[in-house]
Structure 1
Amino acid sequence: MTAATRATATSLGVVAVAGAAAFAYGTFVERRQYTLRTATVPVLPAGAADIRVLHISDLHMAPWQTDKQEWIRGLARLNPHLIVDTGDNLGHRDGIPGVQAAFDVFRGVPGVYVNGSNDYFGPSFKNPLRYFMGPSKHTGTAERLDTERLEAYFDSLGWKNLNNRAATTDVNGTIIDFFGVDDPHRHYDKLERIPGALDELREEDDRGPRLTIGVAHAPYQYVLNSFVTHGAEIIFAGHTHGGQVCVPGYGAIVTNCDIPRKQVKGLSLWRHGFHSAYLNVSAGLGTSIYAPFRFACRPEATLLTLTARA
């Protein structure tokens, strides 16, 4: 073996070892490093009391994930005024008891929710390399999940269903108009229903001033643009997993939708036309059971403190 051949073999060996180590870290360590991200957003009417919003997304819950369930229960110590759940709560046919174990502690706290595709269909194996070719496609063999049971549970908590709907509630003294859509990734969204739903809300309740919040699972640009057009001042979304696998110093490699990479997670400003809204995209707390790893992208929930505008 020549010196050049030995050097090449050594380099390949180092790369293989590094890759295996990164895979092991992402599988056994980082995907369980649940993290709370915090931010402050000045969107409330002048003089309004602060509102603590707990944004939770993409649990992909399987029944054996008791560490995730316990961590979520621990978030009750934050005393949120409002829960926003942006979907993909299920990750297994038997995931609902795990969701209940995680969320029962929040019973009575005002909340809103929308569904993601994984709240309708069970996970299936997908070639990870296909994500580089665009948003993931749907298979015709996915198992149908008990979405009605999941929604009935959220309703029992007192949370409002925003799947192609609107709702109004008073949160810590501020009137909030919510509107949302069913999962855009599955093309279940009905954006054309939003104007009428909002008009009906405001005809029945003309109290003011108020805040308008838009909620969707997948932050496709056409959805975000429509939300801004319809007056959303802050938008909540999930779906992206923050890229799930990121490169330190570069960020997400893919987004699984058409949102720009720089807005794949966290708080940013979404502009459309002459208007804009704050956008919070959660990197989520879970992964598919067929792709159980994260790298440079810890699982997260977000506590947003909404404050009065200057």
Structure 2
Amino acid sequence: MAHLDNALARRVAAAPALGGLAGLAAAGLFYSTVIERNAFTLRHNTLAVLEPGAAPLRVLHISDLHMMPNQRLKQAWVSELETLEPDLVINTGDNLAHPQAVPSVIQSLGGLLSRPGLFVFGSNDYFGPKPKNPFQYFKTDHTRTFGEPLPWQDLRAAFTERGWLDATHTVRELEVGGVRVVAAGVDDPHIERDRYETVAGRPNPLAHLRLGLTHSPEPRVLDRFAADGYDLVMAGHTHGGQLCLPFVGALVTNCDLDRSRVKGVSSWGTSMKLHVSAGLGTSPYAPARFCCRPEASLLTLTPVSHGDAAFDEDHSLPQLASETT
């Protein structure tokens, strides 16, 4: 009987610890799915990438909205971005997470669609999300499954009717704020839709900025942009890791990019800069973020000069109440 009494005593003693762990897990789940997932932030970056003598250019980078029609708080926050009055808007895809989300995306972007803009699409513009085993994200070669088709043609038509330029597999040249920009993009490399040969070659040497666009920052595509002499490539897709650990950072990038470049500014090759947005949304089947707030980025591009360096600083627009959808 004594050994039974001792076992019971150990179980009683362990109960508070187990209860504490359960409470901690519940608090973490609440924080990541309700609070941080809706703690939208605006990241400011300054990058010296323009040709000498060019005027500074303010570029707003939006990516990975993964919009659902009922996500009113995210829609309201995104609609405030037009008050930034950027010179150029870049959208690197994954706007949709629902077949009826196109009106919500267009309404949220609002006045930004009246400003010069460029875009490429990601897989979640073409196909809806599906439930996945989260451990698959640790394997870059896992079998990909696609959900129902999404109305990407309607989204593209809405963007282009308002004046944004589709950079997918084409080279675009435009002048914004006195800055001559040449931009080229590829379709989503994450699902093997990229055809870099359609834009291959050195861009116009008279441009002040040579800009590459891709949804997923796959190294094979970044290498091609760098070899052709692009100054800056902008991408999304990684969600900044989405679930990160303090002092460790992102556990996965969901592509072949290394974890050190999962979000923000980095160098690629000898002279090209890479900017990866951590994005503003999540899949509805994985609605959580931890140590990785949803973000848009305002980049101030300046002329190259000796001693220039990029820097990051987070700023939040007015906080909105949390949503649980």
Equivalent residue in structure 1 for 2:295, among 300, 303, 308: 300
Q: Secondary structure at the match of 2:114?
A: coil
The runs of 5 or more residues in structure 2 that have no matched partner are 1-6, 306-325
1:182–1:190 CA contact under 8 A, matched in 2? yes
Report matched runs for 1:233-248 at 5 Å.
233-248=231-246
- Which residue of structure 2 aligns with residue 25 of structure 1? 31
- Which residue of structure 2 aligns with residue 179 of structure 1? 184
Q: Secondary structure at the match of 1:152?
A: helix
Cα–Cα, structure 1 residues 49 and 222, in superposed 2: closer, same or farther, change >3 Å?
same
Report matched runs for 1:137-216 at 5 Å.
137-139=143-145, 142-195=147-200, 202=204, 208-216=206-214
- Which residue of structure 2 aligns with residue 81 of structure 1? 87
1:136–1:256 CA contact under 8 A, matched in 2? no
2:127–2:148 CA contact under 8 A, matched in 1? yes
Letter of the 1:194 counterpart: V
1:262 aligns with 2:257: no
Letter of the 1:144 counterpart: P
Report matched runs for 1:115-154 at 5 Å.
115-134=121-140, 137-139=143-145, 142-154=147-159
Q: Over aligned residue pairs, what C-alpha RMSD do you find?
A: 1.7
Q: Deviations over 1:7-63 (max 9, x none)?
A: 554443332221221111111111110000001001112221111000000000010
Aligned pair count reads 299
Q: Secondary structure at the match of 2:298?
A: strand
Cα–Cα, structure 1 residues 64 and 173, in superposed 2: closer, same or farther, change >3 Å?
same
- Which residue of structure 2 aligns with residue 65 of structure 1? 71
Q: Secondary structure at the match of 2:278?
A: coil
| Alignment partners' CA distance in 2, 1:266 and 1:39 | 8
1:41–1:306 CA contact under 8 A, matched in 2? yes
What is the deviation of 1:166? 1.2
Higher mean alpha-carbon deviation, 167-176 vs 127-136, is at 127-136
Letter of the 1:259 counterpart: L
2:54–2:208 CA contact under 8 A, matched in 1? no
1:227 aligns with 2:225: yes
What is the deviation of 1:133? 2.8
Q: Secondary structure at the match of 1:144?
A: coil
Letter of the 2:161 counterpart: S
| Alignment partners' CA distance in 2, 1:123 and 1:107 | 26
- Which residue of structure 1 aligns with residue 321 of structure 2? none
Letter of the 1:251 counterpart: G
| Alignment partners' CA distance in 2, 1:170 and 1:238 | 24
Please say which structure displays the higher CA radius of gyration.
Answer: 2
Letter of the 1:128 counterpart: P
TM-score, scaled to structure 2: 0.88
Q: Secondary structure at the match of 2:271?
A: strand
Q: Deviations over 1:192-219 (max 9, x none)?
A: 11226x66xx4xxx7x242100000001
Letter of the 1:82 counterpart: L
| Alignment partners' CA distance in 2, 1:150 and 1:170 | 24
1:53–1:82 CA contact under 8 A, matched in 2? yes
2:213–2:233 CA contact under 8 A, matched in 1? yes
| Alignment partners' CA distance in 2, 1:127 and 1:116 | 20
Q: Deviations over 1:220-265 (max 9, x none)?
A: 1111111111111111000000000000111011110011111100
What is the deviation of 1:88? 0.1
Cα–Cα, structure 1 residues 276 and 136, in superposed 2: closer, same or farther, change >3 Å?
farther
The runs of 5 or more residues in structure 1 that have no matched partner are none
1:82–1:171 CA contact under 8 A, matched in 2? yes
